Amino acid sequence: MKKYELMVFQQQKVASGVKKIRRLGNNSEFEQIKNYVQGDEIKRINWKATSRGKDLMVNQYQEEKSQHVYCILDKSRNMQVEFDHLSMLDYAINSTLVFSNITIKKGDKTGLITFSDKIGSQLVAEKSKGQMKRIMEVLYNQKTHFLDANFELLFESIRKTIKTRSLLLLFTNFETESAMRRALPLMRKINQKHVLVVVFFQNNELEEMAYQDFKTTRDIYQSTVAERMISVKHKIAFELKKNSIHTILTRPEDLSINAINKYLELKAKGAI
């Protein structure tokens, strides 16, 4: 947590891999209705309030400083694959810990949801001093389940519990296009109300296998299969992006830095 905090907040962005992104826009929330003065934007005139009196009235807004951010952890069987003695769920938990710390330090309200065949832990987004401790306690007890992920149940849970437009960082894994397509209609529905970022993993072992030196016929066969499986991952990422869903396809060791960069990018664009 401290390592990534230093990377983001102490001007080590370029050297450390965190991208410094110029803010392109801003989110604003309603503050008050006031009398029009020269220089106010015409599009902010409140015609309803103006009709009730003699003066021209305008809506005044202030920058919205606290957005709602949720990390959603898939605990299904697809998250059991291991890289360097850590499962995908382990990587997702570590990244959620780092990511949540950064978003809270940035002044955003941060929450947590876990799910597999049913909804697991739910932590409402807050930015209080004790929120980071609560997130740590929830993450400590998470384990992978051997059942399939129920995206329909996840959609219903989000619809009922998250009323404010939020950034949702979904840590999951798709090994086949058919698995992604089954979940796609529900992810599209989630993305209509929120800003959904789907995070899934590249397989380091497959990459090594795909680009190995050929010594035997078996090596050629393994390399061909590995290349096809890598291609599937990129096709999945392309399909998600085609449906306007933000996507992070990442090596496990780069997960935290890529998640933080996506968060900073979306904040800079005023997308959340």
Provide the pLDDT confidence category of residue 203 given band limits of 50, 70 and 90: confident
User: Tens digits of per-residue pLDDT, 230-269?
Assistant: 889 999 999 999 999 999 999 999 999 999 999 999 988 8
Task: List the domains of the chain with CATH numbers.
Answer: 28-63 (no CATH), 68-269 (3.40.50.410)
pTM, entire model: 0.78
Angle at 36 between CA 32 and CA 37, to 5 degrees: 120
pLDDT for the residue 248: 97
User: What's the whole-number mean pLDDT along residues 125-138?
Assistant: 94
Q: Which ranges of the chain does DSSP label H, i.e. alpha helix?
A: 2-9, 13-16, 47-51, 88-105, 131-140, 151-161, 177-193, 204-210, 217-242, 255-269
pLDDT at residue 7 tops 70: yes
Mean pLDDT of 158-177: 95
| Per-residue pLDDT at 117 exceeds 80 | yes
Q: What is the pLDDT of residue 64?
A: 55
- Band of pLDDT at residue 13, cut at 50, 70 and 90: very low
